[in-house]
Amino acid sequence: MKSLTRSLAALVACVATTPICEAAALKGPVTWGSPDQPWGVRRAVTAADRAAIAAYRTGSRAPVFSSNFESPAELAADWTLESDDNPTLKSCRRPDSVEASPAGLRLKTLVASTCRSAQWSTGHIGSKAKYGFGFFEARIKIADIKGINNAFWLTTDDNFEIDVAEATNPSYIHIGLQYWPPPNGTEKHAGMGWGASFVENLSYGFHDIGLLRTSNDMVFEVDGEPIAAVVTKNAVKGPAAIRFSTALGDWAGGKVPDHPEGHNMVVQSFRAFAQE
């Protein structure tokens, strides 16, 4: 009964802001596929987590930044359109694959001729502003094919990567926290994470995906429901850039199809709140 009540509450919050919305429900327990780290120890989600997230989602608090990604001028002013070419992927990332539109931010999969070896380009934007502790939420519809990684993530000034969601069709989200040490040092990369499978196909509609980041904890939520939490004890404290990106790879839920072009991730909105 408690889980039903929580699901109904998440659905009510979602419907209050979007005419067409179905709150995603977990298919089973979130998995822990990697060990805890000195800077991150996983814990169970709590009623306090749920209440803290709900307080930001009610609309009573003003965000420090928000966007519906409809304006090309605002997109250019607030975000950097990234360009990169990773040979381990089946796509490069180019500004041409990023579009502000009435539907929101489109990260488009296009046929491309400028990649090192890949046949397609995908999109990647990073915020020009950086944010400290607070609540960050995006409304996202993932691409409707396998083989595309649909990502919402943060990179901090102290070398951490916070993977709020690496979603793959039809219904899987990987959540992660990684440390990328400075080059030429003795430290090694390390990471930890969770896997969440949902009942719904996440490409059928938009879903709210968010992160509550404090000095002591991070809590990850989908449609208002916290699904994973980690204790950081102020180890992850650097200001962070917000990122949205897509990439093609056979590891992203399944083999990349022969023609992935035209299958896109859409971000309808993004909001950032300072911690209160």
pLDDT by residue (tens digit) across 199-258?
999 999 999 999 999 999 999 999 999 999 999 999 999 999 999 999 999 999 999 999
Q: What is the DSSP string of 248-262?
A: E-TTSSSPPPS--TT
Alpha carbon distances (Å) from 265 to 19, 38, 90: 20, 34, 16
The distance between the two most distant Cα atoms of the chain, rounded to a whole number of Å, is 54
Going by pLDDT thresholds of 50, 70 and 90, the confidence category of residue 117 is very high
If you average pLDDT over residues 58-85, what whole number do you get?
98
List, edge to edge, every strand of the sheet that includes 120-122: 91-93, 120-122, 110-111
pTM score, two decimals? 0.93
Query: If you average pLDDT over each of 9-23, 32-46, 138-152, which comes out highest?
Result: 138-152
Place of tokens 């971000």: 267
DSSP structure class, residue 131: B
Asked if 161 and 180 count as a contact pair (C-beta separation under 8 A), the reply is yes
Q: How many CB atoms lie within 10 A of CB 59?
A: 10
Going by pLDDT thresholds of 50, 70 and 90, the confidence category of residue 6 is very low
Asked if 245 and 98 count as a contact pair (C-beta separation under 8 A), the reply is no
pLDDT of 9 reads 47
Q: Torsion angle, CA of 107/239/177/83, rounded to 10 degrees?
A: 30
Burial class (CB in 10 A: 0-12, 13-18, 19+), 34: middle
Going by pLDDT thresholds of 50, 70 and 90, the confidence category of residue 33 is confident
pLDDT of 10 reads 46
pLDDT of 184 reads 84
pLDDT of 21 reads 61
| Residue 2: pLDDT over 60 | no
List, in order of start, the domains of the chain with CATH numbers: 2-274 (2.60.120.200)
pLDDT of 265 reads 99
If you average pLDDT over residues 145-160, what whole number do you get?
99
